[in-house]
A and B are shown apart, each in its own frame.
Chain A
Amino acid sequence: MIEAKWKTIFRYVILIAFLVIILLPFYWMFITSFKTDFALGAYPPSLFPVHWTLQHYVEAFTKYGFGTYIRNSVVVSLVSTFLVLTFASMAGFSVAQLPVRGKTPLLVMFLVISMFPAIAIMSPLYMLLRHLNWLNSYQALIIPYTAFNLPFAIWILRNYFLQLPKALLEAARVDGASIFQSFYRIYLPLTTPGMFTAAVFTFVASWTEFFMALTFNQNNSMRTIPVGIALFSGQYTIPYGTIFAGSVVSIVPIILLTILFRKWIVSGLTSGAVKG
């Protein structure tokens, strides 16, 4: 069935309009980060910077210590992602290929709990971290980020392990491999796409998380990027130039990730488990 031409044109108009609406605020943020302080507060605002300046980027790193926030975010997100992949691949293999009782209800319960509002666990976790003297530390964020992202990662990896035949395990066992060796050498390499999906979701979730980072790591030296950007403040005015310079820097790695792992993200979003 061939569509009328005006219908096709209409579809393109909607698509382009939609993409423009998504991108416009980014455009505004991007050019604002290059405007001079004077232009930042001018009304009417100039829709294109007259004088470009890197002043806010320099300030973000020299005056506001944005480098520290980046370091903290990178450490917390990378370690959490690594731990999630390690634990979730073992657990996913176990639920998919080994005879474990009560696994499906358990997994569903974990998935539901991991989507509860964070406020539900804030006070006990805060007390626990305070008691252990772990407030303002990397582990204060790494452990909760690992825990909250594990159920979804297990779910994704379980679906990949389920597609692999159980006969692989039997064959490997006959050849004298232990169960763990079979998992590590034979099954794991076959689930690389699932690992990509789980990794990107965990990384993005850890990179963007704000509530726990704000509550558990209040010291300036332990803040992550979202906390830094939320708490940037000047003496008299909101330093929007610096805020957006930091924001642009924080977006770049995520956009690269999105371009590289586009396929795996979409498959994660639509694999029957929706999580953002």
Chain B
Amino acid sequence: MTPQTDAAPTNQRGKVRNKRQSLQAPERRAGYGMLTPSLLVIGAVTLFPILYSMWMSLNHISLTVNGFSMNFAGLQNYSLVIHSETFWHSVWFTFYFAVVTVFLELFLGMLIALAINGIDRLKNVSVVIMLIPWSLITVVSAQMWGYIYNGVYGVLNYLLQSLHLIGAPVTWLGTGTSAVMAMMVADIWKTTPFVVIIILAGLQMVPRDLYESAYLDGANAWHVFWSVTFPMVRGSIALAGLFRILQAFGMFDLPYVLTQGGPGTATESLSILGDRVMFQNLDFGPGSAVAVCTVILVLALSLVFLSAFRNLVREGESE
């Protein structure tokens, strides 16, 4: 999301500027007026609660009849959170789930987009089909996969048994490792089409004669990819990746329905943990601390991703 520079003439001096300003005064007033409703709603529902979350995380909180009471607690909630194994397990699970799925989605998305780019037939049908998982309620997709993975009557076991890949039915959501992998598959299934659409749109901006001249210069497919294709789509990939990381870090719907965070706490993401601490145990202080830690981690990971991606781009260019 690169901000474009706005063409507001602010650097004019002296009389010209004064005259312009007096002419612009009503426009400026109208401008602020028309922004106000949006500012109020966004401020009240996103900005203020985030700041208030930080404040709540520094307090002991107990619910009262119609509200709650707070006692300043300093960093006690954070100390509680940081010394809890459950929290670190959640951090680790959320982190590697996000990194692995986002990497695989970008990788698969790139491969599929490269393979199907240039197919002119079936275009409209393909786009609609690829958009369906994007617009699908995650809860529905989680229920769907839950039924497919079911250990007693799930169709996955049936298919794998028919292919002689497994001997006996497997309870996919019953053990930690297989539950995590099953969840990754469900996530990759739902999001890869979205990545393909974005990369495909980027690929279609690459002029065809660029490829032709590169091949005429004797470049091989790999070189053409790195020096022609990749630079043209890296913006789309970076944005898709950044967005997916932000989304994956807040993951809630999929584990809530598919595994309820289990077995044990194997698939307990930070949002599931925060939800459990706040809305089931009613520990709003420590819960807010978990929420604030989540925001800090997701911001850090986004920055790391962007700078790592920039380095990758530079390597590709220097090759």
Contacts and interface: CB of A to CB of B under 8 A. Distances in A.
Interface of A: 1, 3, 10-12, 14-15, 18-19, 21-23, 25-26, 28-29, 32, 40-45, 47, 86-88, 90-91, 93-95, 98-101, 103-105, 107-108, 110-111, 113-128, 130-131, 133, 143-144, 146-148, 150-151, 154-155, 162, 179-180, 183, 204, 207-208, 210-211, 214-215, 225-227, 229-230, 238, 240, 243-244, 247, 250-251, 254-255, 257-259, 262, 265-266, 269-270, 272-276
B247 interface: yes
A269 B135 contact: no
A28 B148 contact: yes
A254 B112 CA distance: 25
Lowest 9 CB-CB distances: which A-B pairs, in order?
A: A117-B250, A98-B31, A147-B45, A121-B49, A124-B49, A90-B34, A124-B52, A91-B38, A179-B30
Nearest to A166: B7
B281 interface: no
B101 to A, nearest CB: 14
B257 A230 contact: yes
Contact of B3 (A100, A104, A122, A124): A104
Contact of A121 (B50, B148, B155, B298): B50
A139 B155 CA distance: 41
A107 B3 CA distance: 9
B309 interface: no
Contacts of B67: 127, 130-131
Contacts of A47: 155
A110 B45 CA distance: 11
Given A123-B278, A124-B53, A22 B143 contact: no
Contacts of A147: 41-42, 44-46
A143 to B, nearest CB: 6
A179 B193 contact: no
Contact of A148 (B45, B215, B274): B45
Interface string B75-99: 0000000000000000000000000
Contacts of A93: 34
B140 A87 contact: no
B135 A204 contact: yes
Q: Is the interface of A mostly helix, strand, loop or mixed?
A: helix
Interface of B: 1-6, 8, 24, 26-28, 30-32, 34-35, 37-39, 41-42, 44-50, 52-53, 56, 66-68, 112, 115-116, 118-119, 122, 124-148, 152-153, 155, 157-158, 161, 169, 189, 191, 193-194, 196-198, 201-202, 211-212, 215, 235-236, 239-240, 242-243, 246-247, 249-250, 252-253, 256-257, 270-271, 274-275, 278-279, 284, 287-288, 290-292, 294-295, 298
A98 B49 contact: no
27 contacts: A15-B116, A19-B125, A22-B133, A29-B144, A40-B153, A43-B169, A90-B38, A100-B31, A104-B6, A111-B1, A115-B246, A119-B290, A120-B292, A127-B67, A130-B66, A147-B44, A207-B137, A215-B275, A226-B253, A229-B139, A230-B256, A240-B147, A251-B140, A255-B135, A270-B197, A273-B1, A276-B134
Contact of A208 (B37, B125, B138, B290): B138
Contact of B31 (A10, A29, A99): A99
Given A130-B67, A210-B252, 5 more contacts: A18-B112, A94-B34, A179-B30, A226-B140, A272-B239
A91 B31 CA distance: 8
B27 A99 contact: yes
A130 B243 CA distance: 31
A40 to B, nearest CB: 7
A16 to B, nearest CB: 9
Contacts of B6: 95, 103-104
Nearest to A218: B279
B192 to A, nearest CB: 9
A135 B272 CA distance: 21
A172 to B, nearest CB: 12
A45 B53 contact: no
Contacts of A225: 137
Contacts of A214: 256
A226 B139 contact: yes
A250 B136 CA distance: 9
A269 B194 contact: yes
A179 B215 contact: no
A263 to B, nearest CB: 9
Contacts of A104: 3-6
Nearest to A203: B135
Given A113-B47, A124-B52, A147-B41, A247 B143 contact: yes
Contacts of B287: 123
A243 B130 CA distance: 23
Contacts of B44: 143, 147
A103 B32 CA distance: 10
